[in-house]
Amino acid sequence: METNSNHTLTNIIKTELINDKDQIDLAFFIRRQVFVEEQHVSVERESMDDNESVHYLATYNDLPAGAARYRKTEKGTKIERIAVLKNYRGKGIGEALLLKILDDVKLEEKIYLHAQVVAKQFYIKNGFKVTDNYFVDAGIDHVEMDFIK
């Protein structure tokens, strides 16, 4: 952690596109903790399409804290698997990951995601709108959302 002249702790969030195997393994570890361990999604379901995806890692004060990915589909660019470890939630890490990906894919014609319904307001706050397509995936209620440019 860094300190400023008032001796106040400053928390640093960093997000980056990753290609290194060790970093990707960290991202997978985070996703497994969130989706497989906490939400009871099968390992097979959680890791589907990993080879076709672009992966991101977020650190909080240089410690791995969050992960996400996107991939191209027939419908457009799909943002997926935004995951933040339990101890780091509420600190802006998920939003930092989302904004980093949106910046990287901003020129794409269509950007969308399948949000867990409990996270719908988070995505609305960050420029997405509900398409009215609600569904259940891996036993969890989801809604399809499109990014409004």
- Domain of 15 in residue numbering reads as 2-109
- pTM of the entire predicted model: 0.90
One-character DSSP codes across 11-56 = --EEEEEE-SHHHHHHHHHHHIIIIIIIT---HHHHTTTGGG-EEE
Angle made by CA atoms 27, 53, 31, in degrees to the nearest 5: 25
Q: Is residue 85 part of a domain?
A: yes
What pLDDT digit, counting tens, does each position of 38-86 carry? 999 998 888 878 889 999 999 999 999 999 999 999 999 999 999 999 9
Give the pLDDT score at 5: 43
Mean pLDDT, the chain, whole residue set: 93
Quote the distance between the C-alpha of residue 97 and its chain's center: 6
Give the pLDDT score at 8: 54
Residue 91 CB-density burial (10 A; 0-12 exposed, 13-18 middle, 19+ buried): middle
CA distance 65 to 23: 12
Q: Is residue 133 part of a domain?
A: no
Q: Is residue 125 part of a domain?
A: no
CA distance 16 to 55: 9
Q: Is residue 140 part of a domain?
A: no
What pLDDT digit, counting tens, does each position of 83-95 carry? 999 999 999 999 9
Confidence category of residue 6, pLDDT binned at 50, 70, 90: very low
Q: What is the mean pLDDT of residues 16-42?
A: 96
Count structural domains, the chain: 1
Q: For residue 134, give the 3-state DSSP assignment.
A: strand
Comparing 30 with 7, the larger pLDDT belongs to 30
Q: Is residue 83 part of a domain?
A: yes
* CATH code of the domain containing 35: 3.40.630.30
Classify residue 76 by its DSSP letter: E
